[in-house]
Every structure is written in structure tokens, then in C-alpha cells.
């Protein structure tokens, strides 16, 4: 299954061992992310370290593991989908996720129920992905 992941999925996988964290490393999932998410991780690095009680070295190791399984797509590759994404997204801060999903013709992995209030992009929760396995 090909999916664009939102930042909250990544934060959730980093902060606690959960279904989301397990799914992140499932080989049957092909995961893509918007490039701005890298900045988000480093912006919230201290918060992540505090919540997880991980060392900075553990954080860096985890980031390298995620880099190996998630393909980061530069914004210019999906910028032509931004206008359409703005018209369908229930939450303007999620426009880039929708633009990338539209460009790739795939679903969006998010546990944000509000994002399901549109029908142009299929939004999957972690539980829904697990059920399809």
C-alpha cells in the first residue's frame, strides 16, 4: 500500500511503542512524506526527547531508520496540486499532505478524523491499515 504520512503519525511512532510504530516498519507499506516534515522533527526534537526519555543518539538513530523507509518528496514535485488540495482539505495546515497524495494518486495515513471530511483522497487511520493486513 502506498501512503503519504502526516507529521502526527511520525511523532506518534517516535514517542511511544504502538500499532502506529509497528506499522511504520511494515515492509508492505510504501511511505512518502512532504519535505517540510524534516524541519518539523528538528524543531520539536527537544519535546520528543523529553516525552520519550530517549537520548539524542537514540533520536538520531531513529531518524536514520525512518529516512531509510520514508521517501521525502520535495515540494516542487507536488506544488501543481496545491490549488486542488486547498479546495478539498478540511484543515488548511494539511494542504501539503493532500497535494502530495493527489500528485501520487494514493491515500493519506492520518489518525485525524477531520481529514476524512472530503472524498478526493482516501484517509486511513492506523487501525484501518492494520485491518487491511
Q: Parse the chain into domains and list their residue ranges.
A: 2-132
Residues of the chain with pLDDT under 70: none
The pLDDT, as a whole number, for residue 29 is 96
Contact 6, 110 (CB under 8 A): yes
pLDDT at 81: 97
Q: Which CATH superfamily is domain 2-132 in?
A: 5'-nuclease (3.40.50.1010)
Taking alpha carbons only, the member of 71, 93, 98 closest to residue 82 is: 98
Tell me what pLDDT residue 46 has: 84
Q: What tens digit of pLDDT does each residue of 102-131 get? A: 999 999 999 999 999 999 999 999 999 999
Residue 52 confidence (pLDDT): 77
Q: Is 23 exposed, middle or buried (0-12, 13-18, 19+ CB in 10 A)?
A: buried
Tell me what pLDDT residue 125 has.
95
Amino acid at each position: 500500500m502506498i501512503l503519504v504520512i502526516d507529521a502526527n503519525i511520525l511523532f506518534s511512532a517516535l514517542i511511544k511503542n504502538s500499532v502506529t510504530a509497528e506499522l511504520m516498519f511494515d515492509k508492505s507499506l510504501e511511505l512518502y512524506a512532504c519535505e517540510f516534515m524534516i524541519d518539523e522533527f528538528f524543531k520539536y526534537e527537544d519535546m520528543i526527547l523529553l516525552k520519550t526519555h530517549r537520548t539524542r543518539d537514540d533520536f538520531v538513530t531513529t531518524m536514520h531508520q525512518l529516512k531509510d523507509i520514508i521517501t521525502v518528496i520535495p515540494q516542487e514535485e507536488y506544488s501543481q496540486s496545491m490549488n486542488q488540495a486547498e479546495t478539498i482539505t478540511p484543515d488548511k495546515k494539511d494542504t501539503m499532505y493532500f497535494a502530495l497524495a493527489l500528485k501520487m494518486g494514493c491515500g493519506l495515513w492520518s489518525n485525524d478524523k477531520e481529514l476524512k471530511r472530503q472524498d478526493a483522497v482516501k484517509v486511513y487511520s492506523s487501525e484501518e491499515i492494520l485491518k487491511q493486513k
